[in-house]
Copies of this chain bind each other. A is one copy, B any other.
Amino acid sequence: MKRTAPLIALGVLGLAVPVALWALQEHGAEHLDFARLFWVLAVMLIAGKFSGELSERMGQPAVLGELIAGALLGGSLLGVIPTAAEDSLTPIIEILAEIGVVILLFEIGLETDLKAMFRVGRGAAAIACVGVILPMIGGILFWLSPLGLHQYGPTGVTMTAIFIGGTLTATSVGITARVLQDLRVMHSFESRFIIGAAVIDDVLGLVVLGIVSGLAAGQAVTVLGIGRSFGVAVGFLVVAVGIGLWLAPKIFDVVNRMRVRGMLLVTAFAFVLVIAALADMAGSAMIVGAFAAGLILSGTNQFNLIQERIKPVADIFTPIFFLSIGAEFDVGLLNPMVAENLPVLGLGLSLFVIAVLGKVAAGWAAPWRRFNRLAVGIGMIPRGEVGLIFANIGLATGVLSRPLFGAIIIMVIGTTFIAPPLLKWSFSWGGVTHSFDKGPHKE
């Protein structure tokens, strides 16, 4: 009986897609087409969940299925998920995806034990720094070496090299966090290292972004400027968590006495939105703010209730983020029959190897202790938002050429798709650590 479920899943998927395609054709673009948006959302959610289910039944994390469903539904294949700038639904999907990743990082923050985090703090910082520096240097050296296919790059080899290095720096904490959630190893030491390092990594990546885009704009880069932007990003986190840990329990004790339905959840949700917006305004990333909000609220008395009630909201929003990431991928780039794809594929593959090796090596950067270093390194592999922002700025300022931009996209998507199965494998191969004394063990 259980064997029929995947078949039914495929059947529903096969039915939903053509109906949605029909709905997409049927309606014009006058005003904002609510009916079409509803179709698109419904198809995204159903396709995402069913291919997530298939992915789990094949022994892979559900998020891999969502990414693949996104690629299938995206602009380069079925065109169900709107990605074109002129489509009126694109910004709506974008914002729903952003809310999705914000809620995900909030959940991760809620699940994170701040004290346990501090115990791995130095190790996580070491992993983050090495994981930023190694791929960056690797990318720069690669482009400056004879292996860099300079005929495909614009003039100004050094600037281009720095940009390529920059795109290789920042881990996308979203993907890894979802995989750790899917694998139910969120409370292991490996997860603490990964999440801690990925958050620090994100802050470092934004500082590098500030420096590199300043360079591209022809600004002089000063040690003071670098120090300031680093200070603001780190300072925001410290101040927000510090004030929050003191203030939030008081706010939520008052909120808890209110009678109106949904008060607790709505206040928690508004709290996340505000901290995320403040993080953005302070020059940090929204997801870093959302993670901080989660850390803060994990100290309130209402923590369990908040966690329980945000879950259904996360169930609806987070898949939209992963499907959107998948939809960004131009599947056509992978076709080796198109001659002009070959150098792009070659460059992309080289960058991909540098991206993977640099982060995996970082797993060994933490001070000596017994844990699954390979899993930690692999957990840092996926690149995401920050890398894509780098690439977009590079393209806009002419520092990157179109083929180089394509190669970077291949690297980003490649690391994103490889991380879920690789991480799952590394945990079952090297074990999970719940106590440093016992070291990693297999479950």
Q: Is the CB of B52 within 8 A of A315?
A: no
Q: Is the CB of A95 within 8 A of B34?
A: yes
For the complex, what is the distance from the CA of A310 to the CA of B261, rounded to whole Å? 13
The reply to whether the CB of A56 lies closer than 8 angstroms to some CB of chain B is yes
For the complex, what is the distance from the CA of A263 to the CA of B315, rounded to whole Å? 8
Q: How far is the CB of A30 from chain B (nearest CB, A)?
A: 13
Closest 6 CB pairs of A and B: A262-B315, A38-B277, A42-B270, A42-B273, A38-B273, A35-B280
B-facing mask of A208-252, CB < 8 A → 1, else 0? 000000000000000000000000000000000000000000000
For the complex, what is the distance from the CA of A23 to the CA of B95, rounded to whole Å? 18
Interface centre among A5, A271, A313 (most CB of B within 10 A): A313
Q: Is the CB of B56 within 8 A of A260?
A: yes
Q: Is the CB of B38 within 8 A of A259?
A: no
Q: Is the CB of A38 within 8 A of B315?
A: no
For the complex, what is the distance from the CA of A48 to the CA of B39, rounded to whole Å? 29
A23: chain B residues within 8 A (beta carbon):
277, 281
* A265-B41 contact in complex given A56-B260, A258-B53, C-beta closer than 8 Å: no
Q: How far is the CB of A248 from chain B (nearest CB, A)?
A: 13
List 7 extra interface pairs beyond A34-B280, A42-B277, CB under 8 A: A27-B281, A34-B98, A41-B273, A46-B267, A49-B262, A88-B91, A91-B92
The reply to whether the CB of A337 lies closer than 8 angstroms to some CB of chain B is no
For the complex, what is the distance from the CA of A263 to the CA of B8, rounded to whole Å? 14
A265: chain B residues within 8 A (beta carbon):
312, 315-316
Cβ-closest chain B residue relative to A261:
B315
Q: Is the CB of A260 within 8 A of B62?
A: yes
For the complex, what is the distance from the CA of A356 to the CA of B57, rounded to whole Å? 58
For the complex, what is the distance from the CA of A39 to the CA of B2, rounded to whole Å? 46
The B-contacting residues of A in range 273-317, CB under 8 angstroms, are: 273-274, 276-277, 280-281, 286, 309-316
The B-contacting residues of A in range 24-44, CB under 8 angstroms, are: 26-27, 32, 34-39, 41-43
Residues of A within 8 A of B (CB): 2, 5, 8-9, 23, 26-27, 32, 34-39, 41-43, 45-46, 48-49, 52-53, 56-57, 62, 88, 91-92, 94-95, 98, 254, 257-263, 265-267, 269-271, 273-274, 276-277, 280-281, 286, 309-316, 319
A270: chain B residues within 8 A (beta carbon):
41-43, 45-46
Cβ-closest chain B residue relative to A41:
B273
A273: chain B residues within 8 A (beta carbon):
38-39, 41-42, 45
A26: chain B residues within 8 A (beta carbon):
281
Q: How far is the CB of A65 from chain B (nearest CB, A)?
A: 8
For the complex, what is the distance from the CA of A98 to the CA of B41, rounded to whole Å? 14
Q: Is the CB of B319 within 8 A of A266?
A: yes
Q: Is the CB of B280 within 8 A of A315?
A: no
Q: Is the CB of B315 within 8 A of A34?
A: no
For the complex, what is the distance from the CA of A39 to the CA of B319, rounded to whole Å? 23
